[in-house]
Amino acid sequence: MRQRAAPRAPRTPTLGDIASAAGVSTATVSRVLNSPESVRPVLRSRVQKEIDASGYVADGAARALASRRSRTVGAVIPTLASAIFAEGMDAFEARLGDDGHSLVLAQSGYDAAQEVVHVRNLLERGVDAMMLVGKDHDQAVFDLLAARRVPHVETWTYVEDGSLPCAGFDNRRAAYRMASHVLDLGHRKIAMIAGISTGNDRATERIEGTRDALQERGARLEAARVLERPYDIAAGRQALRELMGHSSPPTAVICGNDVLATGAVLECAAAGIAVPGRLSITGFDDLPLAAHLTPPLTTMRVPSGEMGRRAAEYLLACLDGAEPPPLPELSVELIVRGTTGPVPDEAD
């Protein structure tokens, strides 16, 4: 029996096909694709029409081989589950896209060894630059970036001495400001529901900043009053139950982010604990939900969108051959809402 021949794959259009259909040279088609501003609008429109009609897609691998640039930027973030990272990455990707670059994203799960794996994989795939979160990384990360001469930028952190390129803020100083607000309200029995500090310099610095403020006022952040939990609403609820079960419960709970604080507020509502009449609660990040809790959450507003945009602009400047100056520290704003109030009269 005669076998039916396999259908031929459709022929991929070439630059020559586009040039012939538009009545121009292949050089003109190339300029429309790579530097459209250099082509007269009428001619550019005619060529673009043929490109769109043919379904032509540039050969990125060939282009990367010729230019030694992939026009992709890698980013390794701890998690995609947090809205604060999502907002920052949206802004980061949008700014890269304005300059014709694409984003390749990986998440480490707060695991330093996994971050090394992702950085190596992204570099092997030819990314031109890299964005990281935080300042504490396995030395292998820095060695890999240096060996490939790939520029990078740190986010959600700030190093004052300029030893690392940072688009971010000082977590320790921001936490100090929040704790100072709570102290100014008269609270001294203060507890903290923090993020897991292992492999997370941001969580560590927020604990340190809180402790700094209390020590300055002659108070202490006792070890038993610091609970580290994953960023999860249920974990925040469980931690609040544990803290309020102490023989001498706190009058204020400072949370490492808004997710943990949301869990704490919800647990108070379920347990009949008045906020802020009996207990003041604070967050960190100012996620969209913070203003809509009952009562609305006192928190620190992190400019995650601005951070992402600045990080992208820094890397794009590096890729253009510039030596951008160190980025200034971003400001974090204390947002006072309804979950904080004076220390209760009946408190010891």
Scan for tokens 């121009």, then name that residue: 24
Identify the pLDDT of residue 67. Answer: 43
CATH number for the region 171-302 comes to 3.40.50.2300
Of 171, 35, 152, 137, residue with least CA distance to 92: 152
Give the whole-angstrom CA distance, residue 253 versus residue 122. 40
- One fold for both 71-169+304-330 and 171-302? yes
Mean pLDDT within 299-321: 96
Condensed to tens digits (0 to 9), the pLDDT of residues 249-303 reads 999 999 999 999 999 999 999 999 999 999 999 999 999 999 999 999 999 999 9
Please report, for the chain, the start and end positions of each structural domain, with discontinuous segments joined by +. Answer: 9-50, 71-169+304-330, 171-302
Identify the pLDDT of residue 1. Answer: 46
Domain 71-169+304-330 falls in which CATH fold? Rossmann fold (3.40.50)
- In the structure, what pLDDT confidence band is assigned to residue 68 with cuts at 50, 70 and 90? low
Q: Which residue has the higher pLDDT, 229 or 322?
A: 229
Give the whole-angstrom CA distance, residue 347 versus residue 212. 23
Identify the pLDDT of residue 346. Answer: 66
Condensed to tens digits (0 to 9), the pLDDT of residues 87-145 reads 999 999 999 999 999 999 999 999 999 999 999 999 999 999 999 999 999 999 999 99
Condensed to tens digits (0 to 9), the pLDDT of residues 188-220 reads 999 999 999 998 999 999 999 999 999 999 999
Amino acid at 164: L
Condensed to tens digits (0 to 9), the pLDDT of residues 225-249 reads 999 999 999 999 999 999 999 999 9
Identify the pLDDT of residue 29. Answer: 83
Which pTM does this prediction carry? 0.80
Q: Which two tokens stand for residue 304?
A: 């995650």
Domain 9-50 falls in which CATH fold? 434 Repressor (Amino-terminal Domain) (1.10.260)
